[in-house]
Structure 1
Amino acid sequence: MANVFTTEAVSRLAQLGPPQTAADVVALAAVGVASAAYMLNGVVWNKPDPYNYVWYQVMEPRGGAGAGAQATRNIAQKLEESGKDVVIFWGSQSGTSETLAGRLAKECHLRFGLQTLCADLCDYDPETIALIPQTKLAIFIISTYGEGDPSDNTAGLWEWLHKRPFDIKLPHLRYMAFGLGNTSYRYYNRVIDVVTESLDKAGAQRLMPVGKANDASGGTEEDFLAWKDDLYDVFMGQLGFKEQDIPYTPSIKLIEDESLTLIDLNLGEPVEHRTGPARVIKAYSPIRPLTVQSSEELYSSPNRNCLHMELDITNQAELRYGTGDHLAVYPINSDHEVQLLLKAIGREDRAETPLLVQPVEEGETVKIPSPTTLSALFRHYLEVSAPVSREIVGQLARFAPNEKAAGLLSSLGKDKNGYAAFVSKNHVTFGRLLSLVAPGAVWKDLPLSYVVETLPNLQPRYYSISSSSVVSARKIAITVGVDNTPLAADPSTEVRGVTTNYLYSLANSINGTTSKSAKLPKYAISGPGGSLEGNKVYACIRRSQFKLPTVGTTPLIMIGAGTGMAPFRGFILERARLKAIGKPVGRMILFFGCRNPDEDYLYRQELTETAASLDGLLEIVPAFSRADGVPKAYVQDRVGEKQKDVCELLQNGANVYICGRASMAREVGKVVEESMKQQNNWTDADARSWAESAKKGNKWLEDVWG
């Protein structure tokens, strides 16, 4: 409409002829300026964000085998078209459930001749589960993470089961289930409990008790093996399946193709591919190479280090973070582990040969990029430093280069205690295992497809951002704890964090302190094809619910230990900035736990200075577990000692934040509930109800790990 009116005005002025007076000139100029301003709207001024379309975009694979769209989202139709007998659904946040599901699918085929489909829960519409016929079997392997939360790719199933549960009818579904959880969390294996209860109420037939893994003491693998033995008893007894020994049959094929050039290959760049509900996909930014501008060592001890790293996103206009978000860092495997595995399988001279990775069965997907090279697979795409399970150890016996190695592997695979004793002396990665049981031998009978299928995909590691987006919008800080504890005197047996030691190596390179780390693993820190030169790492931002309240006067209770301090540094810096510009700020208490005030008290001087600038609005309550001359105390002890202040803040609308180990969060939660119970003369049920309500209302937030 504005354009029509402007055009008419110009037309009428034209009919009057040339301007006669100064007023005419001014009027005509005003119309001209208004017309120009309108026509240039969105071009010169009020321009849209050119990167808006890519911020938290749907990520797609670069290309290669299996990169196409899923043929159907109807799981019943997929089973029928592919001639599968069993579907094994997996729901995983870190990749463990996916790995177990893949192993189970392979073994069900090898031992019983069953045609199995390993299915990502978010690849199929959950309502089509109701269409699975009684002639098929469904197995669910689903993890619980956080405080009883489903994994991202389980969200669709979770929402379907909760949306209209009384409308779901599953009279033909026969299923088994296994859950992955951790008793350090309050809601141990809640997701598998809720899913199976919902399936049962809908009329599904559960063929055996639900299996559960407890990772609190690293028991996931053995719990899974015990459940799998029970599963096979059901297969042979109740279902009448006959056990047989079928030769290994690969699900992928790797084809060398020297006609491919470097420009065709995926040499290590992370694959931007996410599936699932839109809200999950939008929680992630694009993956970009970010410059590590600086790295400072917060403390150093013989077996532990801690880094404060700052990453510059000035040149990444599409990236924005919020205080409390996470940074996902994509690691690189150490040179030693890569070369060890290449040597054991006799592929050192073919490591850079172009490889096509393709599914054996048409329509199946491959979750590693293709084309690529073996060097890129082992260095950037597969977890070559992951421990090897007892089950895999036993399977490797059939490919052993000599009878002695075969006997040892077979024995370890069958003997739980023998395997436990073996791994207590050796950190058993794939390459180390092959070298240990057959020193100097080449595993020429070990199919490359088996190695690639067996190794889990290399996953990013998540770090709480320790900076404030209000204070430094284009600079992201993370706090990285590095554990260098050896298992034994032999350095080759050491257990080293993949990402933390990669970042530590990069930090030493930035600061010119490589001589200090002569015994540490070496990494190709320049990245694939030099893409990370200039001290860069591949990373993306993940949105978090661990956020400051929108009202700055809301009181805060922050509780963390070790690197659990990270998000609270950002919170405190942001509140200090608000106060500095004259905004009202609420009272804050920070409970922080560490070993010794002279060793690992993170950001001590900065916190002291910031507290002073806040004029008494921030109280810091430390807890030292190994300080000389001071009784041992943990953060939950300090929370109990400050019970009166904590309850007063809570009654005044404070938000509670807990960050750190799940076991710590659980103990702190007990103390907070007990404090409110005593303060208000509540029953246990009242205190639990209050805590649940606070969590649902985002007044009690936790960012914890196992």
Structure 2
Amino acid sequence: MDGQEGTQTYFGGPTLLAATSALVFSASVALLYVRYQSRIFKDSNSSSGCFQSASGNDENQEDAPSETAVQVTVLYGTQTGTAERFAKKLVTEAVPRYGGKARFRAVDVEEWDFKDQLPKADVLIALFATYGDGEPTDSASDFVRWLEDQEEADEEPLLGKPFGVFGLGNRQYEHFNAMGKLLDKRFTKLGGSRLVPVGLGDDDENIEDDFDRWTERLWSSLDEALGGGAGGGAAAAAAAAPAYDAEVLPAGTPEAAGAGSLGHGHAAPAMVRVAEVRELHSAESERSCVHVELELGGSGLSYTAGDHVGVHPANSEEAVEAAAGLLGVPLDSVVRLSLPEGRAADLLSAPPPTPATLRTLLTWHTDLLGPVHRPALAALAACASDAADKDRLALLSSQEGKQEFASWVSQPQRSLLCVMREFPSARPSLGLFFGAIAPRLQPRYYSISSAPAASDGRMSITCAVVDEETSAGRRHRGVASMWLARQSEGAEVPAHVRSSTFKLPRRHETPIIMIGPGTGIAPFRGFLQERATARAAGKDLGEALLFFGCRDRAKDFIYEAELRDFVRSGVLSELFTAFSREDPGKKDYVQHHLLANAERVWGLIGEGGHLYVCGDAKRMAKDVHEALVEAAQKARGLSREAAAAELHFLADCGRYLKDVW
């Protein structure tokens, strides 16, 4: 079944599957074993001796990788930082596990010269996220395109090379884990030999557990080939926690500044000016949602309706000051971070541009309020001076303390800053803090809520401001949404544009059905602006239905006046609204209106119409999908299986698109 980790579908049934899998696995292990042994034999006949440290230092000869070491490249393609974190976790655990037998390196695919470096990798481990509806991440697009070119040219750049693939995705998308599945298939076609079945991580459930299970299968394969395993474990991984070389420089040392320092490659931001920030909810609302207008003039950024904008936020001054206090370093200290020499550098990505003040590093580069993960807790345990703090952190970071971690850290949404406040004796060095404990602050992606032809050089963001109480009674405030809401006219923010496949049909006459409650309306506002521009140019428009929902029309019916105008002008054929909390005795959601209008919805689909869903993935998208299945049964007399197959067909041909989070 799609999404079950490691499950593959082969023609021939389970018996043939088992035999084929065993044969492929045995061949992969044998190949890796022969390669490793041949290196040892070659080295034993040289004057340098076996297992010599690359640096020539014999002091830790057993643990340092030698010239005979199998070169394992852990390649990651990430959009939000999870694949990068998993790659570093895997490498950190591998170092004590295999000692000098293998050298593991975590590499960002965007920084990897794959034409030059692929032949030098003995084993390739790929951790790749799927973005949007089956697309590669920005960083992976060139690599995926090159692999496609190699396949079309009948090349075999991975001939005999053992590989493993773990995909990161969300089951709410039709093309769940498309990149993981694609790479696993393509690596095989290009001559690679699968070490472990493809892992399919599901962010809709528990992707951490998915990765842990897949990693255990990977270790089993590598253990058989390399004879490792004895040196592994959480304690050993904590001892191998990577740290940058950190130096506090004299006061007045110039900083390495510039917006480009916040990202690289496709994600390098430009500075754009804030033209407007206005509240969309009424004064009666207990919540907040802001409309932000960004002036693009001179930034070099461009977009089309349906694209995403990546906003690079800053931490609040309150959070920054608290973090500096816990680290025991003044905020105005000028810091230089650099990669250490030797094997430790394999565990780290390039540091943020320095010299920089600690204030700059904590404000723009460090995720202080996001989720904290077990490897970070293990690193904190290693530097805790209080025995009780050390033991508690060690438990929370261990496999044995998994349930305790879930109940004390994950469920109440304790951030890194919260955890450090709870364990004040765990005071890491700056090198360890930025290298192994604090994740890099990632851009936040928003569906652009405007169309360029109607926006006079501007781009709009529709942002729900996250400011809520957690189950543990603490206040949870969204870093990016709170930061955007605080901006004033004339301020500059770093941002980049991410293209999307979530687009209007090429033909204006094609009917469209849009489903977007809450801020899910964002891309549809852009769609309607684009349709209005086409109508003004004399184009004929197909029918357009919009299903919008919110809690209370008097409080959070955002863009109501604009939507009514679109209906009056004929740009929008009909607006269906659902208000979930107006009537205490009745819940009213968009899916109820889809079912009530089943014949009309499926009638338009039968005319070649396109379906669009935008908004919450965990609840709304699931409920809407079920409603569409039920509506097909009702309107077309289909069985449930046939209705679900119809939606699957529409997704495959690009007529059922989701932009969900």
**Range into which the TM-score falls when normalised by the shorter chain:** 0.7 to 0.9
Paired letter, 2:156: I
8 Å CA contact 2:371, 2:415 repeated in 1: yes
Contact 1:132 1:172 survives alignment (8 Å): no
1:321 Cα deviation from its structure 2 partner: 3.3
User: Corresponding residue for 1:196?
Assistant: 184
| Other-structure match for 2:199 | 211
Counterpart of 1:513?
Answer: none
Question: What pairs with 1:391-430 in structure 2 (closer than 5 Å)?
Answer: 391-414=375-398, 415-423=401-409, 427-430=413-416
Q: Which residue in 2 is equivalent to 1:62?
A: none
Q: 1:624-677, CA deviations, whole angstroms, 9 ceiling, x for partnerless residues?
A: 333306743432332232222223323333333221123434543455466557
**Pairs within 5 Å for 1:196-595:** 196-200=184-188, 202=190, 204-217=192-205, 219-236=206-223, 239-241=226-228, 243-244=230-231, 245=236, 247-248=239-240, 250=242, 252-258=244-250, 261-262=253-254, 264-266=255-257, 269-271=259-261, 274-275=264-265, 281=266, 287-299=270-282, 304-313=287-296, 315-316=297-298, 318-347=300-329, 349=330, 351-361=331-341, 366-414=350-398, 415-423=401-409, 427-438=413-424, 441=425, 443=427, 446-454=428-436, 455-488=438-471, 490=473, 493-506=474-487, 534-580=490-536, 582-595=538-551
Displacement of 1:550 in angstroms is: 4.4
Instruction: Please report how far the alpha carbon of residue 319 of structure 1 lies from its aligned counterpart in structure 2 after TM superposition.
Output: 3.7
Write out per-residue CA displacement over residues 49-90 of structure 1, whole angstroms, 9 at most, x where no aligned residue. Answer: xxxxxxxxxxxxxxxxxxxxxxxxxxxxxx999977321111
Instruction: Measure, in 1, the Cα distance between the counterparts of 2:139 and 2:414.
Output: 30
Partner in structure 2 of residue 186 of structure 1: 174
User: Helix, strand or coil for the counterpart of 1:101?
Assistant: helix
Question: 1:639 — aligned with what?
Answer: 594
Q: What letter matches 2:503 in structure 1?
A: K
Task: Give CA deviations for 1:214-254 in whole Å, capped at 9, x if unaligned.
Answer: 2214x223333344445445554553115345854745312
The whole-number CA distance in structure 1 between the counterparts of 2:561 and 2:504 is 23
RMSD: 3.5
Given the superposition, is the C-alpha separation of residues 344 and 112 from structure 1 closer, same or farther in structure 2, using an over 3 Å criterion?
farther
Residue 652 of structure 1: aligned partner: 607
- The answer on whether the counterparts of 1:591 and 1:635 sit within 8 Å (CA) in structure 2 is yes
Structure 1 gap ranges (5+)? 1-78, 276-280, 511-533
CA distance in 2 between counterparts of 1:127 and 1:675 reads: 50
| SS at 1:645 equivalent | helix
The residue aligned with 1:72 is none
Q: Is the 8 A contact 1:554 1:587 kept in 2?
A: yes
Equivalent residue number for residue 173 of structure 1: 161
CA distance in 1, matches of 2:622, 2:547: 15
Q: Which residue of 2 aligns with 1:517?
A: none
Q: Structure 1 pair 585/121, CA: closer, same or farther in 2 (3 Å)?
A: same
* Secondary structure, counterpart of 1:599 in structure 2: helix
Q: State the alpha-carbon separation in 1 of the partners of residues 88 and 148 from structure 2.
A: 28
**Structure 2 counterparts to residues 90-109 of structure 1, below 5 A:** 90-109=76-95
Whether the 8 Å contact between 2:465 and 2:478 is mirrored in structure 1 is yes
Aligned to 2:34: none
C-alpha separation in 1, matches of 2:485 and 2:81:
24
Matches within 5 A, 1:621-700: 621-628=576-583, 631-663=586-618, 664-669=620-625, 671-672=627-628, 675=631, 691=647, 694-695=650-651, 698-700=654-656
Q: Using the alignment, how far apart are the partners of 1:128 and 1:670 within structure 2?
A: 48
**Structure exhibiting the larger radius of gyration computed from Cα positions:** 1
One-letter amino acid of the counterpart of residue 230, structure 2: E
More deviation in 86-95 or 151-160?
151-160
Structure 1 window deviating more from structure 2 (476-485 vs 644-653): it is: 644-653
Kept after mapping to 2: 8 A contact 1:303/1:484: no
| Count of residue correspondences | 580
Q: Distance in 2 between matches of 1:502 and 1:496?
A: 10
Q: What secondary structure does 1:628 align onto?
A: coil
Q: Which of 555, 558, 568 is equivalent to 1:599? A: 555
Tell me if the contact between 1:300 and 1:306 (Cα under 8 Å) persists in the aligned partners. Answer: no
> Kindly, what percent of the aligned residue pairs are identical?
30
User: What residue in structure 2 maps to residue 49 of structure 1?
Assistant: none
Contact 1:251 1:361 in 2 (8 A): no
Deviations 1:473-525 (A, max 9, x none): 223222111122211575xx32221101112233xx67xxxxxxxxxxxxxxx
Identify the residue that residue 10 of structure 2 maps to in structure 1. none
Q: In 2 relative to 1, CA 294–419 (structure 1 residues): closer, same or farther, beyond 3 Å? A: closer
1:342: Cα distance to partner?
1.3
1:89 aligns with 2:75: yes
Q: Does 1:137 align with 2:141?
A: no
Report the residue type matching 2:271 in the other structure. Answer: R
* Paired residues of 2:262 and 2:268 also in contact (CA < 8 A): no
Q: Report the Cα distance in structure 2 between the residues aligned to 1:582 and 1:205, rounded to whole angstroms.
A: 57
Rounded Cα–Cα distance in structure 2 between residues aligned with 1:191 and 1:402: 45
Which secondary structure state, in structure 1, belongs to the residue aligned with residue 392 of structure 2?
Answer: helix
Distance 1:130 1:703 in 2: 34
CA 1:667–1:147 in 2, change beyond 3 Å: closer, same or farther? farther
| Code of the aligned partner of 1:573 | Q
Q: Which amino acid aligns with 2:514?
A: M
Question: Hey, what's the Cα distance between the residues in 2 that align with 1:701 and 1:487?
Answer: 32
- Distance in 2, matches of 1:696 and 1:249, equals 43
TM-score by length of structure 1 reads: 0.73
Which residue of structure 2 aligns with residue 75 of structure 1? none
Contact 1:265 1:373 in 2 (8 A): no
Please give the alpha-carbon distance, in whole angstroms, between the structure 2 residues aligned to 1:107 and 1:542: 33
Q: Is the 8 A contact 1:303 1:483 kept in 2?
A: no
Aligned residue identity for 2:502: F
Counterpart amino acid of residue 146 in structure 1 = G
CA contact (8 A) 2:166 2:198 kept: yes
Question: What displacement does 1:578 show?
Answer: 4.3
Q: Which moved more, 1:675-684 or 1:290-299?
A: 675-684
Task: State the 1:421 CA deviation.
Answer: 2.1
| CA 1:149–1:388: 2 relative to 1, 3 Å | same
* 1:426 Cα deviation from its structure 2 partner: 5.1
CA distance in 1: counterparts of 2:198 and 2:500, whole angstroms = 31
| TM-superposed deviation, 1:307 | 1.1
3-state DSSP of counterpart to 1:298: coil
In 1, distance between residues paired with 2:164 and 2:301? 43
CA deviations 1:532-560 (Å, max 9, x no partner) are xx433222333333333444333322111
Q: Distance in 2 between matches of 1:341 and 1:389?
A: 17
Q: Is the 8 A contact 2:74 2:107 kept in 1?
A: yes
**How many Å separate the matches in 2 of 1:142 and 1:358?**
26
Q: Is the 8 A contact 1:299 1:306 kept in 2?
A: no
Counterpart of 1:295 in structure 2: which amino acid?
A: R
**Cα gap change, 1:577/1:180 in structure 2, threshold over 3 Å: closer, same or farther?**
closer
